[in-house]
Amino acid sequence: MTKRESTIRQYGPAAERRTIPAANLGALMDGGKPVRLAGYAAVFNKASVDLGGFVEVIEAGAFASALRKTPDVRALYNHNPDHVLARTKSGTLTLREDDTGLAILATLPDTELARNLAVSVERGDIDAMSFAFDLGKTGEGDVWERAAGGGYIRRIRKIANLYDVSVVTYPAYPDTSVALRELADVKAGRRKARPESAESAAIRRRIHAAKTDALRKRVEQAVEQARKWGVLKERP
């Protein structure tokens, strides 16, 4: 069964998944025993990687509507419904929005799986999270923008349903089948894309600046290494 088939089977054809590679995960220990797991399942106002012709930004407050429904959300390990770490219905999982994003606090069960996971999180071996959601009816929860530099930006404003949050070993490529269908509608003119907003432009400039800075540092490191090896000699 593919990841997309698994998502549809669990939550329906409108469901999507997104992954946060570094979720500020931390394990709270008590006498060496894992007690709680804390981190962020989503981060606001931060552009995703290229998701296939578009990038995505989750706006602050996007989860408010879903959380008001007091959803029965499960915290899972590697998306596996057999590996339940906590649940809102039982009071062992707390979800809230803050200025950073969707924060989670899970009270872990006293199981071998939870103990091993907490140790891996504490060591930094596992640091990613994922969440499953849908936006309800098409066009109600998101806005598409045509980026000034080419490509598209999908701004998620209102998540209708939140299904699970998951601690993941490998931050796999997200399930974007629903969004890609919407993008096809935008390109075909069946759905409108507004011009790039000032907020999206600012995010794009920050990404460009960060990439330029990272490239500059890599070049400097390569030059320094070449000097050490005697490959690059200073001009007289």
Q: What is the chain's Cα-based Rg?
A: 21
Under 8 Å CB-to-CB from 220, ≥6 apart: which residues? none
Query: For the whole prediction, is pTM greater than 0.85?
Result: no
Question: What pLDDT does 41 receive?
Answer: 92
Place of tokens 């796999």: 172
Give the C-alpha separation, 9 to 24, whole Å: 30
Residue 18 confidence (pLDDT) = 87
pLDDT in tens, 92-110: 999 999 999 999 999 999 8
Residue spans of the chain under pLDDT 70: 1-11, 22, 32-34, 172-177, 207-208, 210-211, 220, 223-228, 230-236
What pLDDT score does 176 carry?
60
- For 193-203, how does the pLDDT look when each residue is reduced to its tens digit (9 = 90+)? 888 888 888 87
pLDDT score at 25: 87
| Helix spans in 100-143 (H) | 112-123
3-state SS class at 40 = strand
Locate tokens 């088939």: which residue?
A: 5
pLDDT of residue 226: 63
